[in-house]
Chain A
Amino acid sequence: MRQRSFSRAFYELISSMRFAVSLLTVLGIASIIGTVLKQNEPYNNYLNQFGPYWFPIFEELGLYAVYNSAWFLVILAFLVLSTSACIVRQTRPMLKDMRSFREHAKEASLAAFQHHERLHTALPTDSASQKIQAYLAANGFQSRTGAREDGVLLAAKQGSWTRVGYFLAHSAIVLICIGGLLDGNLPLKIQMALGGKTTTSGNQLISDIKPESRLGLDNWSFRGNVFIPEGKSANVAILNVKDGILLQDLPFTVSLRKFHLEHYSTGMPKRFASDILITDKASGKSVEKTIEVNKPFEFDGIMMYQASFEDGGSRLHLVGHDLRTGGRAPFQTDATVGEAIKLKQDGLDYTLELGSFRPFNIENMANEEPAETSTVARLEKHLGSGARSVSKKDLRNVGPSFEYRLRDSSGQAREYQNYMLPIEQDGAWYMLAGMRETPAAPFRFMRIPMDQDGKPDSWFVIRGALLDKSRHAEIASRFTATALGAETDETVRGRLRETTRKTLELFAIGGFESLGKFIESTVPPAERDKAADVFIKILEGSAWEAWKLARSTAGLPAVELDQKNGRLLRDTLNATSDSLHYGAPVYFQLSSFEEVRATVLQVTRSPGKPVVYFGSLLLVLGVFAMLYIRERRLFVLIKHNGDALVALSANRKSMDVEEAFQRHRKAIAALLDPAATPPAQS
């Protein structure tokens, strides 16, 4: 007995409006959590973000995948339970209410309606009743007549379908939740718990993955990715689960013929499309198809979507420039994106990990314009067509680039980003060589100047001489000879020679930074600018001498010291100074490439989709029926003694109820007593 009253109370509670509204609120708040914390990131990111103390606690709370966590599913389960209980609880009274006309309502209860009025009838009950019935029918009411001793009660109603709306909308919620559950990761969780499936790290070859991490063809609900490079094929999908993966066998093999990647002139992506060939394993039949974003394709009950694309192992041909003093001549090496190669010769011990390759880069090369100050001028610029760009743009393709990591023997790595082609900056051309020490930092670029032949070679030559200690003495004496000309005093010459040698020595250690430190420690503040000027002049002169010397040694024609070459020397010094902080013994130049793309297709089997869609349809129908079909009940009591009563009730209070009542009251009063009331205007 006690048991029963408890379950009764529980039923009362979960089917109550209070509970439903609280549940909606709780669900809303719970949902917010997953939008604040990025979901389904690699676990390492969370570990970095929260530290070793909080990381496992948050993991236990399911915060990294809130919408798949047990507690969130429990809330949803309660929503289903509560909504179902509501439906069950309301069904019988509602159906009864829908069917009933209440033609036996008491006069007193009609008189208690908010919208009622006593009228007078001048007609015999029968004819009055007929007229009113005709009126009710014409106004879209269904009516029933209840005869009584003192007269007749016409009970009419319309809009009962709004009650059906209630069932539709609430069943829809249940259907959508159930369908969503089928397509969520609950089926996967169950297979892992009951079927003994475990995730694997994903660092091994697909053929090495054990059966307990493979899901068979009988799996009826999954969502995974298939990675296929151009010219290759795949027959398994990878499912990311927590911090590991599972393999899903597919009943077919997908080959990627070609991946189309198109861009607008602004560099924005325009089209991603995969030309694929699907071969069914069982029947051997093949289908050719192009899958695009927004144009998925279904095969064997599995939907395939264009999810993303990656590099499929592009082949880059690189030229390595040894940056070490006395290093070897430029050498060639080939590398594949996504792979690592060992650089182990001539004292080098590095691993080159080629990370990515971009076949083009669109950059805005326009110079910043001064902002328009007057309001009218600014407004004027914003009038006209929406096609016009207000700020000046000069979009240019600056060519391919690639990124790689260079790891030394102790495992330390820096990241590099190099462009294939020289880029124009401030009127001169440079090779840009970017470097960063941590992945989070932006790249810092070394600008290697291009010489009159459009090559970076001069820079390597001058740099080599400036940083080579054994050549400093010769450069110093040549510079002294050029700078002093006819000056014969050996002490003066000797002093300049020594200063130059010392300057070069300092510069070779840490570039401008070492010189700056030297000036700060030896020169009084007032004279530092002047000293710096002197050092720069010495360096520029030395660079010039080094260049001339190198050219004559190589048998190249002499160069003029014009404005262009002057700038080249200054740029050379800057880049040389930067190169001392480059952190790599080799600069890699991209000489040519063969791009290979790969597509990533998402493959899903979602059995809940039709359920959810059907639920959605019911939801829309239900919501509109509930909100826009108005239920009205109109009662007209006609008594033999000439008294009459009209009353109107509605399932909801709103202003149009009163308006409708007045309309019907006037019309009915006129029908019952045509003489007393002027006929209503038609």
Chain B
Amino acid sequence: MDIAHSGTPSPLRRVGIGDGLFALALALAAGFALSQYGDFMDIYDKAILAAVVPALAAIGWAWKPFRGFLAAAAALAVLSISLYGGDLARAEQAFFLKYLISSQTAIMWMSALFFIATGAYWIGLAARSDFAEKTGSALTWSAVTMGTTGLLVRWYESYLIGTDVGHIPISNLYEVFVLFSLITGLLYLYYEGHYATRRMGAFVLLVISAAVAFLLWYTFSREAQEIQPLIPALQSYWMKVHVPANFIGYGAFALAAMIGVADLLVRKGILASRLPPAEVLDDVMYKAIAIGFAFFTIATILGALWAAEAWGTYWQWDPKETWAFIVWLNYAAWLHIRLTKGLRGPMLAWWAVIGLVVTAFAFVGVNMFLSGLHSYGSL
């Protein structure tokens, strides 16, 4: 009897052939990107690309379904790029581009799929229907796949406008709203798998739907979807690390707040028989805030490093910086109370919900109401 393996070992030990292939595929893809587009990258961009390979491989090892999702999104993006063949006008001529996998269309599909998924999860919750919840799950997976494809293709399209225009599509409010929806969706799917319950989807998908609704308004009323070139301050490799780290934070905080809402309802006895027990919700809320806080810390530090290079000072109390600091303080206090005092219950759930208001203000409100250096998307 081999006692060493009788327990559940750490996830990294569960590496199978699939994981090896996944890592290999990632490395090959990065190598291909390097050979194909290396001329557009500086040394830092290349280093980031290299670092992304082990990062994604690790996510794939710890969370198996991620591999399929990434493969699908990458395959769709490659298909789209090959259909373009270097000519932007093809978006109007090729059927698959126009109606499926050009960037705008893919993002529209993402929007629609998120909406339908929200409906499916709610039907599942109301009718206690396993089938509806599974449908919701599948739709959410499809939505994040389409959204990721959309962003990847948008990245390519920006270079077709002009090589001096091309940039990673996380540079303005429109693009980061897509990113926010994707990251929140993926985080949710991870917890759905980890806790083996689809009951939280109804709540988490609400906040994603709200983001998507904003995105659509922003598209149709403000024409915000048009790719814009980068102003000099944004032309930096720092954007590739600062922005995604930030949105893991925002996405996780948003998710925690929605779980907080569910938690409060369960504690009041509303939907208690349909939702996971408060203990589980509490745990998810903590995990989300912990990961959000960790990444938000990194993001803020990366932002400071970037600010030092672009604006000449790592911290100057610009409204966005200050609000990031307030968000950070808020969750720092939350974690202190929970971890040191061991406090549980409705108070922390309320706090997480209010935290979303603070986070939303830092994310969107600052752009709407305050002016400062960080004004990269106005309403």
Contact = CB atoms under 8 A, between A and B. Distances in A.
Q: Does B associate with A? A: yes
Interface of A: 17, 20-21, 24-25, 27-28, 31-32, 34-36, 38-39, 66-67, 131, 134-135, 138-139, 180, 183, 223, 264, 266, 268-272, 292-296, 303, 305-307, 378-379, 382-391, 602, 604, 606, 609, 612-613, 616, 619-620, 623-624, 626-628, 652-655, 663-664, 667, 670-671, 674, 679-682
B11 interface: no
B217 interface: no
A65 to B, nearest CB: 9
A361 to B, nearest CB: 18
Nearest to B319: A35
B170 interface: no
Contacts of B322: 31-32, 34-35
B19 to A, nearest CB: 20
B247 to A, nearest CB: 18
B69 interface: no
Contact of A385 (B104, B311, B326): B104
Given A21-B333, A653-B342, A386 B312 contact: no
Contacts of A264: 164-165, 229
A180 B165 contact: no
A157 B323 CA distance: 40
Contacts of A67: 317
Nearest to A131: B3
Contacts of A613: 305, 314
A526 to B, nearest CB: 45
A227 to B, nearest CB: 15
B6 A384 contact: no
B294 A624 contact: yes
Contacts of A20: 336
Interface of B: 1-8, 88, 91-92, 97-99, 102-105, 108, 154, 157-158, 160-161, 164-165, 169, 219-220, 223, 225-229, 231-233, 235-236, 279-280, 283, 286, 290, 293-294, 297-298, 301, 304-305, 308-315, 317, 319, 322-323, 325-326, 329-330, 332-333, 335-337, 339-342, 344, 366, 370-371
A654 B286 CA distance: 9
B349 to A, nearest CB: 16
Nearest to B234: A294
Contacts of A612: 304, 314-315
A616 B322 CA distance: 17
A388 B308 contact: no
B164 A270 contact: yes
Contacts of B290: 627-628
A27 B91 CA distance: 51
14 contacts: A31-B325, A139-B7, A264-B164, A271-B232, A293-B310, A305-B310, A305-B312, A383-B98, A386-B157, A387-B158, A609-B314, A620-B301, A627-B290, A663-B7
Contact of B336 (A17, A391, A602): A17
Nearest to A624: B294
B175 to A, nearest CB: 9
B276 to A, nearest CB: 11
Nearest to B151: A386
Nearest to A306: B232
Nearest to B310: A294
B225 A292 contact: no
Across the A-B interface, give the 7 residue pairs with the lowest CB-CB distance, nearest first.
A305-B312, A293-B232, A385-B91, A138-B4, A680-B6, A384-B91, A602-B312
B227 A293 contact: no
Contact of A379 (B108, B158, B370): B108
Given A383-B102, A384-B98, A385-B157, 13 more contacts: A28-B329, A35-B323, A180-B315, A264-B164, A268-B229, A307-B311, A383-B98, A385-B104, A386-B158, A386-B169, A389-B226, A616-B301, A667-B7
Contacts of A21: 333, 336-337
A387 B161 contact: yes
A36 B369 CA distance: 9
Nearest to A294: B236
A67 B316 CA distance: 9
Contacts of A292: 232
Contact of B6 (A223, A294, A385, A670): A670
A266 B160 CA distance: 16
Contacts of A305: 310-312
A369 to B, nearest CB: 12
Contacts of A223: 312-313
Given A17-B340, A24-B332, A270-B229, A383 B105 contact: yes
Contacts of B219: 382
Contacts of A679: 1, 6
Contacts of A307: 311-312
B294 A606 contact: no
Contacts of B104: 382-386, 388
Nearest to A21: B333
A39 B317 contact: yes
Given A268-B231, A293-B232, A620-B297, A682 B371 contact: no
B3 A138 contact: yes
Given A264-B165, A293-B310, A385-B91, A269 B317 contact: no
B2 A682 contact: yes
A391 B223 CA distance: 8
B3 A135 contact: yes
B370 to A, nearest CB: 6
B221 to A, nearest CB: 11
A194 to B, nearest CB: 25
Contact of B92 (A35, A384, A627): A384
B5 A386 contact: no
Contact of A387 (B160, B233, B341): B160
A382 B220 contact: yes
A384 B105 contact: yes
A383 B1 CA distance: 61
A20 B341 CA distance: 12
Given A21-B337, A180-B315, A382-B108, A27 B235 contact: no
